[in-house]
Structure 1
């Protein structure tokens, strides 16, 4: 009995794939839309053709016919006035009318080139006008001026008759053009009504087609997708062992199976990634601890170097004072080298300590007036400024929330460098600007010094990077690296404007408020980077 049981019949639409549904729907939709589109295109083309004829031909032709009438009336007025008075001033309207008539006839001939009846009307007007001009206008204008023309009196009746014929020809022309405008407007109105009807039918058919497609998609695709979405939400809720049941068209059932396979694989990958995450956390903790130890080592080493260095410096200076001049010149030179090396080493260690403190100590962010900070900086540099006769100007500077000590270090290094790296034959001129750009303040420090070559625009911000020997310009090579660290700690960037060729222009930005996660480079990273680039 069981062996004769037939499997349940499958509904015909359940055997269709999504692709088949879409192909059938797209084919029907395209056929309907092609028919509607063809009809709509014909109606639009018809409307455009009639509208173009009205706007580009009929209406301009009527306007030109009216201008032609005006030109002819000006000629008649001028001839009549000249014939009655003999005054040459009446010749001007006549000549202007002739010129205007020629231009209008040329324009009308172009507009009516596809209208034989219109060209016939224009020819009739020209013939009547030519008769009047030959019989009346030209003979009268040929008569000497100064007194009324006898010819005007003799041909008064003929002149009236011939110009009436001109008027009649112009009237027939304008009447016909007006009737053409009315006719074309009527055609345009009828075509627009047809267009509205066609597009209303198109809209109605598109609504029906949309409803049909929507219902087909809902029955054939939406329900299986809802089931698939329900299973996916259960899995997303944390039940990764929940299976996905294949339902719907054949391709959706295949998709469900593939997603279920992906679920099983993700379960395996999740276990592996959790193990990897734990290893990465351990490595990150070790790296952070190593970085902190390196920074502490550099800080402590710099402090520990101070005591023996002070002893070396003290004794070499004592040796210089007590025995200077008592030994030979080479010995004095060696002593000078030792004193200079000890002093430069002490300066280098102090600068290195200041560099290490940026971002690690002095986190006292408060509202500070950069104008006052710059004034204090200039006061500290007063000796160097007076010795070089430097001129320092600045725009009004803003008030920011920042670390006042670090802001002082920033201005100290930037202004100090601008004064130090001057041209031998020029007085230093330094200008500071500030402008708001979106959410940041942009500052520039511009000088007329020796400048920085474009190929060194990035290197100058690396610690210990020097472009000149200590014999030419003193310094440790830490100043601009410290400026970079201060600026980055306050949420900004710093660079050299390589487009400026008259000296050096340093551009940097600062945030009005301190960033939540300031990102200056750490001391060990900076030291390693400087060693790699300079070594």
Structure 2
């Protein structure tokens, strides 16, 4: 078992030179001057694993000895029990059966001798069969010299009685039976009394042997109980020693280490961590102490870094304020010159188009188109920058109402495209109503814009509940999005088509991505959907909503505008 943690070999911390072997910390000595390592030094070098190996090995050795002793006691008890039950008691039973068989024979012979009737020989013949069975058992079970001598005497007396009395009478016929019986009546009585005396002596000896066997069994059982009681006491002592050893050698050093580290964790970074217990626990404490010193140095450095971060955060706040001011300027001051450029260009176009040639009119159209496109880009950039920065308080938003409002807003483009819109049941979520409306507006307008010329546009919006998230899908049968562009379409100003083919600034899906991520969801393109495109996105569900997904109860089509 590990030594007590209070001993000199374990209680004192081992740091610096004390942690090294003696030959590395002292001057070299000759073989005669160098002291031999003592038991305390040997114990101090033992690790937790070595202590456990020694303790477990000793405990297993003791348990093995106790197990062998217990097996021997049980085996001895079993042997004594078998001797009593299988041999001594069986031999006595066989002797009694043998006596009964001889009595049946004597009764049958005597009755046959008095009456001469052959039916009196039936008990005699049955007794002969029973005698043979009992005799075979006795010969098997009689193993001691006395038992063999008793059996030999009984069989000899039985043979004399049978030869002199039973066999002559059983073979006689008619009047010879009664005459022979009267002649040998006295002799028969003497011989059978001698046989009976021999059987009585045999049974007395067998009874005494069985009594001795019972006494031996009682003694063995007493020894067995004592041995198992001793085994239980030894096991209890081993358990106590193991508990005490683990407590003093491992648990208490770990508790002290935990107390030291807890004190450091509570803010006392100058508190030293000392090692106790086996060598590996002391090495662990030394490593933790080195880590504490390193962390103390790092904390001193990180305090400077925090000050720098605070300054940088202040710079970022100031920069954000300037960006907000820039957004305000862009939304008012920059748009005013663009409106003037566009307005005066249009006035030039109306008043002087007849006085200018075709190329000059084309230049004026280019100027008007550029100004309008610049104004659209500025408006879209403002819209993109406001997502997540300028928003209303989060409230419960009924997406059914948002969907209806969005369809009404896009009614003109939907009617021009001849698109058919439908949706499943839409839930109520928590978020910014304006931004969620903008999300649906961008997704539906994209589905209408990028329609296929070969088929009537069909657009459907669905929602399903999975756990604590709503999974939405906006599906169309338009020109679709290739898998290689599944990520690119959500990057700002990324266009897959020319401006002449499909108008726009290329910022709509980037705004959708920012809105969805601001609300704690994700958005992506389903590459497996054909034909057309399917944009999927998720939004957190309200805590009060059931977790079972709502199923579509049929098509709920919005009215054609």
Q: TM-score, normalised by structure 2?
A: 0.56
SS in 2 for 1:360: coil
SS in 1 for 2:359: helix
Compared CA separation, residues 512 and 244, structure 1 to 2 (3 A): closer
Query: Which residue pairs with 1:397 in the alignment?
Result: 426
| Deviation string, structure 1 residues 76-106 (Cα, Å, up to 9, x no partner) | xxxxxxxxxxxxxxxxxxxxxxxxxxxxxxx
Task: Write the distance in 2 (CA, Å) between the matches of 1:485 and 1:356.
Answer: 9
CA RMSD of aligned residues (A): 3.3
Mean alpha-carbon deviation: is it higher for 302-311 or for 344-353?
344-353
Does the CA contact (< 8 Å) of 1:231 and 1:243 recur in 2?
yes
Partner of residue 519 from structure 2, selected from 479, 490, 500: 490
Mean alpha-carbon deviation: is it higher for 366-375 or for 13-22?
13-22
Compared CA separation, residues 459 and 203, structure 1 to 2 (3 A): farther
Task: Write the distance in 2 (CA, Å) between the matches of 1:361 and 1:335.
Answer: 37
Answer yes or no: is 1:289 the counterpart of 2:284. no
Compared CA separation, residues 510 and 254, structure 1 to 2 (3 A): closer
Compared CA separation, residues 492 and 245, structure 1 to 2 (3 A): closer
Q: For residues 367-516 of structure 1, what are the structure 2 equivalents within 5 Å?
A: 367-512=396-541
Partner of residue 48 from structure 2, selected from 18, 29, 38: 18
Q: TM-score, normalised by structure 1?
A: 0.58
Query: Which residue pairs with 1:280 in the alignment?
Result: 309
User: How far did 1:246 drift?
Assistant: 4.2
SS in 1 for 2:323: helix
Does the CA contact (< 8 Å) of 2:330 and 2:378 recur in 1?
no
Answer yes or no: is 1:315 the counterpart of 2:344. yes
| Deviation string, structure 1 residues 459-514 (Cα, Å, up to 9, x no partner) | 11112111111110111111111111221222211111111121010001112359
Task: Write the distance in 2 (CA, Å) between the matches of 1:35 and 1:438.
Answer: 60
Does the CA contact (< 8 Å) of 2:464 and 2:472 recur in 1?
yes
Answer yes or no: is 1:224 the counterpart of 2:228. no
Compared CA separation, residues 322 and 204, structure 1 to 2 (3 A): farther
Q: For residues 161-200 of structure 1, what are the structure 2 equivalents within 5 Å?
A: none
Compared CA separation, residues 372 and 209, structure 1 to 2 (3 A): same
| Deviation string, structure 1 residues 342-375 (Cα, Å, up to 9, x no partner) | 2222222222222222222231322222111111
| Deviation string, structure 1 residues 195-244 (Cα, Å, up to 9, x no partner) | xxxxxx99999887655433322232333333333333333343333334
User: How far did 1:338 drift?
Assistant: 1.7
Q: For residues 13-412 of structure 1, what are the structure 2 equivalents within 5 Å?
A: 16-28=46-58, 211-412=240-441
Instruction: State the number of aligned residues.
Output: 345
Compared CA separation, residues 407 and 243, structure 1 to 2 (3 A): closer
SS in 1 for 2:499: coil
| Deviation string, structure 1 residues 46-74 (Cα, Å, up to 9, x no partner) | xxxxxxxxxxxxxxxxxxxxxxxxxxxxx
Task: Write the distance in 1 (CA, Å) between the matches of 2:354 and 2:283.
Answer: 98
Unaligned stretches of 5+ residues in structure 1: 1-7, 39-200, 515-535
Does the CA contact (< 8 Å) of 1:402 and 1:513 recur in 2?
no
Compared CA separation, residues 34 and 483, structure 1 to 2 (3 A): farther
SS in 1 for 2:334: helix
Does the CA contact (< 8 Å) of 1:320 and 1:332 recur in 2?
yes
Compared CA separation, residues 501 and 230, structure 1 to 2 (3 A): same
Does the CA contact (< 8 Å) of 1:14 and 1:220 recur in 2?
no
Unaligned stretches of 5+ residues in structure 2: 1-37, 69-229, 544-561
User: How far did 1:30 drift?
Assistant: 6.4
Task: Write the distance in 2 (CA, Å) between the matches of 1:411 and 1:247.
Answer: 67
User: How far did 1:294 drift?
Assistant: 3.1
Q: Which has the greater radius of gyration?
A: 2
> RCO higher in 1 or 2 (8 Å CA, sep ≥ 6)?
2
Task: Write the distance in 2 (CA, Å) between the matches of 1:386 and 1:28.
Answer: 92
